Amino acid sequence: MTGIAIDLSGRTIVVAGAGGGGIGTATANLLTNAGATVVGLDIDADRLARADVAVARVVDLRDPDAVEATIDGLAALDGLVHVAGGLGRDQWAPTEQVSPGTFDDVLALNLRAALTTSQAVARRLRAAERPGSIVYIASIAGLGALPYGAAYAVAKAGLLALTRTQAVEWGPVRIRVNAVAAGTVRTPKSEAGRATDQPDEVATIPLQRRATADDIAAAVLFLCSDLATFVTGHTLVVDGGASVKPSYVDADNLPVFVRDPEVRARIKE
């Protein structure tokens, strides 16, 4: 197949968490470049100004009434990309020390906000009898574990379960629901004061680098497009292979139990 171009002209897509210069901004910019009318939502007007969006709305995504009012006020709607989430530096802690308040705060942004925003979008789509696409930005933490980030891992695992459940429920009304499980990503927030990946940061990644925000946005673009019209309930892992690299592979990318020097040398030729 050659000459394929993704054209989202005529479609209005909400990007929840479009500000900040990271995944949300990259996603908004890429969807706009593909011809979509992008509605950017963010809690911070200055952050939102960094994104190339047709419509900018300042809203706290943790407030379901404010979100629904914003969604209901849109002239048209074809889809949602829910990006907002994260784990604050003060929210990292051993599991036995995570307070109920911190746990609730992390779930409120990473899971509950995704639920309530998608509910508002789905109601609009169903009322208009329009097909649509919902994409959640999840994390490989939801597929495995995140030591000292229990609340975040739980929220992202829940987001993947929500993806599958909504895909089954909303499939009959032609609303597709998918997720992108991101690995470690270079963003302005994560890269403050650093220019390059450190060796220990990429040692567990077969492709030997961390993702860029554009890598994640490209996966979102595919899932929003007509190339994915028969894809729903799926989690697209974008982590450079990190989640499939076995723990028993050493720094030479060989199984640790292969100790024979001759065999190791032959394999590495």
Which of the residues are catalytic? Answer: 152, 156
SS3 268: coil
Classify strands 37-42 and 55-58 as parallel, antiparallel or unpaired: parallel
Task: Give 38-43's long-range contacts (Cβ < 8 A, gap of 24+).
Answer: 38/12, 38/13, 38/14, 39/12, 39/13, 39/14, 39/15, 39/74, 40/15, 41/14, 41/15, 41/16, 41/17, 41/67, 41/70, 42/17, 42/18, 42/84
Note whether 59 and 67 are within 8 A (CB).
yes
